[in-house]
Amino acid sequence: MTVRTVLQHADITRALTRISHEILESNRGTNDLVILGIPTRGVVLAQRIAENIQRIEPGTGDLVGALDVTMYRDDLSRNPTRTPAPTSVPGSIDGKTVVLVDDVLYSGRTIRAALDAISDLGRPRAVRLAVLVDRGHRELPIRADFVGKNLPSAASERINVRLTEIDGDESVTIEETGEASA
């Protein structure tokens, strides 16, 4: 099994800083902006993006929350799932721009589930997607608006995102598994 490191701590920090600036430019500031991370690593990435935005535009209110999509997934019967995490949203999302944040965009099914979860919370003006890694292989017509790194990969490869807050170290690696991953 071959493991190749494609992003290290400094690369991840640069990518998240760029994404933070792109979100601010796209939204023309922080008015009516909500950033929702998809557990587990998407929440950490969303928090870092919100911290970057706070540094860029001090005085910005609470922007960040978490959106658990476990019960909205279309593969619950086939795949073991983790225990649902609490969803926390900083206020109403009605009429706001919601930026979903996840670590890896692959088939698009997690994001489809997130869109279903958002519709239960309210009616945002717009929904945008920020991901650290876009690896391709979409099964649904979903595209990220903000991407840290496009990383075309084979279906037999696995992308591993490790973040200090969860894993104790920080990197993005590609692992050759020899079988198609999901």
Which pLDDT band holds residue 59 (cuts at 50, 70, 90)?
Answer: confident
Domains of the chain: total: 1
Residue 82 covered by a domain = no
Q: Which CA distances in Å does 56 have to 50, 51, 111?
A: 10, 9, 28
- Alpha helices of the chain — where are they, by DSSP H? 9-27, 41-56, 109-121, 164-167
Q: pLDDT, tens digit, for every residue of 99-154?
A: 999 999 999 999 999 999 999 999 999 999 999 999 999 999 999 999 999 999 99
| CATH number, domain containing residue 69 | 3.40.50.2020
Residue 177 covered by a domain = no
Residue 162 covered by a domain = no
Residue 164 covered by a domain = no
Average of per-residue pLDDT across 26-35: 96
Q: Which residues of 122-141 are buried (b: 16+ CB within 10 A; e: fewer)?
A: eebeebbbbbbbbbebeeee
Domain that holds residue 17: 12-74+87-153
Residue 62 covered by a domain = yes
